[in-house]
Amino acid sequence: MKPKFRSLSGAALMLVIIPIIAGLLACMPVPIGDPERSRIDPELNGAWKMSEEGKESALYLFRPYDKRTWVVIGTEGTFGASTKIALYKAWLTRLGGKRFMTWEQAGGINSDGSFEPEFWLVFRVDKDNDDQFRLRMIDLEFEGFADIPTPDEYDGDDYIGKMRRKFERVIKRHIDDEEMYSEPLLLSRVPQDELAEAAALFEKIIEFE
């Protein structure tokens, strides 16, 4: 299985929207969980600020698409004059008693005309309180994944279908191993007195009308 090249590069945009991610090594070559068997958590609906060590870096809108998934819209910065956005489909799954969220890019197209992403973002989700969650990304370079072939090394078909279970088993086995996760990103709910400003920003960059 060889990766496809995007004519519209979601990878570069991802690094703009989430500057905390230093490179694509943290991204997963398979999604985790099945969106058709998932259920959204209403507590995660709405507008959020994503930050690292208290430094705001991006504004995100978690908008329910259906009972199973969200459309996640990310902007560069918070309430600045950003015109860049990133789109994801997101869903939750539970492994080893912990919750994980998979983000699948929804804003690109491959050079062959297909839409299957080349990579996914997978976060462990821990709740601090009603207005703050911690997201810790799964790191593909974790040694527990070393025996799983990469897409370039795999000669068969259906890489995603066959390798997803392997990744999920490793995650379950190492659920409490801190080496498997990145430093936490803080997802903080946009306060009520800032919601109007956030709504205006999303309306501006997405052009609802």
Does the residue 207 lie in any domain? Answer: no
Instruction: Specify the higher pLDDT residue, 151 or 171.
Output: 171
pLDDT at 23: 47
pLDDT at 31 over 60: yes
Q: Which domain holds residue 98?
A: 10-199
pLDDT, position 112: 81
Of 183, 192, 152, 202, whose CA–CA distance to 55 is shortest?
183
pTM: 0.86
Give the span between the Cα atoms of 47 and 66, in whole angstroms: 17
| 84 inside domain | yes
Compute φ and ψ for 68, nearest 5 degrees. Answer: -110, -30
Q: What is the pLDDT of residues 2-27, one digit of tens each?
A: 444 333 344 444 544 554 444 445 78
Token output for 204: 């501006």
Residue 119 has pLDDT above 90, yes or no: no
State the burial class of residue 105 (Cβ atoms within 10 Å of its Cβ: 0-12, 13-18, 19+).
Answer: buried
Q: What's the confidence (pLDDT) of residue 82?
A: 56
Residue 205: inside a domain, yes or no?
Answer: no
Is position 204 within any domain? no
The whole-angstrom separation of Cα 197 and Cα 203 is: 10
| Overall domain count for the chain | 1
Q: Would 1 be classed as within a structural domain?
A: no
Please check whether residue 17 is in contact with residue 57, taking contact to mean a CB–CB distance below 8 angstroms: no
Would the pLDDT of 177 be above 80?
Answer: yes
Is 129 within a domain? Answer: yes
Whether 105 is in a domain gets the answer yes
**Per-residue pLDDT tens over the stretch 50-74:** 888 766 678 899 999 999 999 999 8
Mean pLDDT of the chain: 84
Residue 4 belongs to some domain of the structure: no
DSSP 8-state class, residue 106: -
150-169 tens-digit pLDDT: 998 998 888 998 999 999 99
* Cα separation, 122 vs 149, whole angstroms: 18
How confident is residue 208, by pLDDT bands cut at 50, 70 and 90?
low
Is it the case that residue 98 has pLDDT exceeding 70? yes
Q: Is residue 1's pLDDT more than 60?
A: no
Higher pLDDT, 7 or 127: 127
Q: How many CA atoms are closer than 13 Å to the CA of 171, on its beta-carbon side?
A: 29
